[in-house]
Structure 1
Amino acid sequence: MRGGTLVMATSQVGAGINHGVASGVGIGNVSSKIFASLVHLDANWDPQPYLAESWDVSDDQMTVTLNLVDGATFHDGMPITSADVKFSIEVVKNNHPFTGMWAPVNSIDTPDDLTVVLHLDNPHPALWIAMSDVLMPIMPKHIMDDGTAINDMKGHPNNTAALEGDLIAVGSGPFRLTEWNNTEKIVMDAYEDFFIPGRPYLDSIIYVITPNEDTMMLGLESGEFDTGGYASVTNADKVANNANLVANPDELSGVGSLNHLQFNMANDVISDLRVRQAIAYTIDRDFIINNLHQGQTSELLGGIHPSSPFYNSNVERYDVDLDKARSLLAEAGYADGLELRIHYIPGPNEQQLYVAEYIALALAEVGVDVEVVQSADLPSWAGMFFGGPDAWQMTMNAYFNWGDPVIGVQRAYVCANIKPGVFVNNSAYCNEKVDELLYAAAAETGFDARKALYDEFQEITAVELPFYGINALPIYGAHQTYVMNMPLGTWGSLSGMENVWIDK
Structure 2
Amino acid sequence: MKFTTRLLGAVAVSAMSLSALPAYSEGGTLVIASTQVPRHLNGAVQSGIATAVPSTQIFASPLRYDENWEPQPYLAESWTVAEDGLSVTLNLVKNATFHDGKPVTSEDVAFSIMTIKENHPFQTMFAPVSSIDTPDANTVVINLSQPHPALLLAMSPALAPILPKHIYGDGQDVKSHPANSAPVGSGPFMLEEFKAGEAIVMKKNPNFFIEGRPKLDEIIVNIIKDPSALLIAMENGDADIYPFMAGSQEIKRLEKVDALEITSEGYAAVGPINWLAFNTASEKLSDVRVRQAIAYAVDRDFITKALHRGVSKPQRGPIIESSPFFDGSIPAYDTDLDKANALMAEAGYGDGMELTIDYIPGPKEQQQSVAEYLKSQLKKIGIELTVRAAPDFPTWAGRVGGHDFELSMDVVFNWGDPVIGVHRTYLSSNIRKGVIWSNTQSYSNARVDEILGAAAVELDMDKRRALYAEFQQIVAADLPIYWINATPYHTAFSKKLKNAPKGIWGTMHPMDMVEWVE
Tell me what 2:82 maps to. Answer: 58
Mapped to 2, the partners of 1:343 and 1:487 lie a distance apart of 32
Tell me what 2:109 maps to. Answer: 85
SS in 1 for 2:291: helix
Tell me what 1:190 maps to. Answer: 204
1:233 alignment partner AA: S
1:327-346 maps to which residues of 2 (within 5 A)?
A: 327-346=342-361
1:187-336 maps to which residues of 2 (within 5 A)?
A: 187-229=201-243, 230-336=245-351
Tell me what 1:124 maps to. Answer: 148
1:264 alignment partner AA: N
Structure 2 counterpart of 1:400, from 409, 413, 421: 413
**1:466 and 2:480 equivalent?**
yes
Contact 1:252/1:492 (8 A) holds in 2: yes
Q: CA-to-partner distance for each residue in 1:184-226, whole Å, 9 max, x for gaps?
A: 1110001100101121111010110012333212211111101
What is the aligned residue count?
492
Tell me what 1:11 maps to. Answer: 35
**1:364 and 2:383 equivalent?**
no
Contact 1:18/1:27 (8 A) holds in 2: yes
**1:141 and 2:165 equivalent?**
yes
SS in 1 for 2:386: strand
Contact 1:13/1:25 (8 A) holds in 2: no
Shift of 1:419: 1.4
SS in 2 for 1:86: helix
Shift of 1:348: 1.8
Q: CA-to-partner distance for each residue in 1:128-152, whole Å, 9 max, x for gaps?
A: 111011101011011111122xxx3
SS in 1 for 2:355: strand
Greater Cα offset, 232-241 or 48-57: 232-241
Contact 1:252/1:493 (8 A) holds in 2: no
Contact 2:265/2:503 (8 A) holds in 1: no
SS in 2 for 1:137: coil
SS in 2 for 1:289: helix
1:499 alignment partner AA: M
* C-alpha distance 450-386 of structure 1, shift in aligned 2 (>3 A): closer
Q: CA-to-partner distance for each residue in 1:366-399, whole Å, 9 max, x for gaps?
A: 22111111111111111113555xx311011111
Mapped to 2, the partners of 1:14 and 1:138 lie a distance apart of 19
Mapped to 1, the partners of 2:295 and 2:237 lie a distance apart of 43
Q: CA-to-partner distance for each residue in 1:273-302, whole Å, 9 max, x for gaps?
A: 111111111101111111111122111111
1:335 alignment partner AA: G
2:418 alignment partner AA: P
Contact 2:37/2:392 (8 A) holds in 1: no
2:146 alignment partner AA: N
1:28-107 maps to which residues of 2 (within 5 A)?
A: 28-107=52-131
1:404 alignment partner AA: D
1:291 alignment partner AA: A
Shift of 1:487: 2.3
Identity %: 49
2:92 alignment partner AA: L
Shift of 1:455: 0.8
1:438-449 maps to which residues of 2 (within 5 A)?
A: 438-449=452-463
2:333 alignment partner AA: Y
SS in 1 for 2:314: coil
Shift of 1:251: 3.0
Tell me what 2:508 maps to. Answer: 494
**1:416 and 2:429 equivalent?**
yes
Mapped to 2, the partners of 1:252 and 1:225 lie a distance apart of 21
Contact 1:252/1:494 (8 A) holds in 2: no
Shift of 1:422: 0.7
Greater Cα offset, 261-270 or 229-238: 229-238
Mapped to 2, the partners of 1:431 and 1:416 lie a distance apart of 10
Q: CA-to-partner distance for each residue in 1:282-340, whole Å, 9 max, x for gaps?
A: 10111111111112211111111111111112111111111111111111111112111
SS in 1 for 2:109: helix
Shift of 1:61: 1.6
Mapped to 2, the partners of 1:367 and 1:488 lie a distance apart of 46
Q: CA-to-partner distance for each residue in 1:424-452, whole Å, 9 max, x for gaps?
A: 10000000000111111110111110011
**1:109 and 2:117 equivalent?**
no
Shift of 1:235: 1.4
Shift of 1:267: 0.5
RMSD over aligned Cα atoms: 1.2
Contact 1:125/1:443 (8 A) holds in 2: yes
Tell me what 2:23 maps to. Answer: none
TM-score, with structure 2 as normaliser: 0.93
Contact 2:37/2:394 (8 A) holds in 1: no
Q: CA-to-partner distance for each residue in 1:220-272, whole Å, 9 max, x for gaps?
A: 11111011121112211223332210112123331111001000001100111
Q: What stretches of structure 1 of length at least 5 have no aligned partner? A: 162-168
TM-score, with structure 1 as normaliser: 0.96
Structure 1 counterpart of 2:498, from 480, 484, 487: 484
Mapped to 1, the partners of 2:241 and 2:135 lie a distance apart of 43
SS in 1 for 2:377: helix
Mapped to 1, the partners of 2:351 and 2:501 lie a distance apart of 55
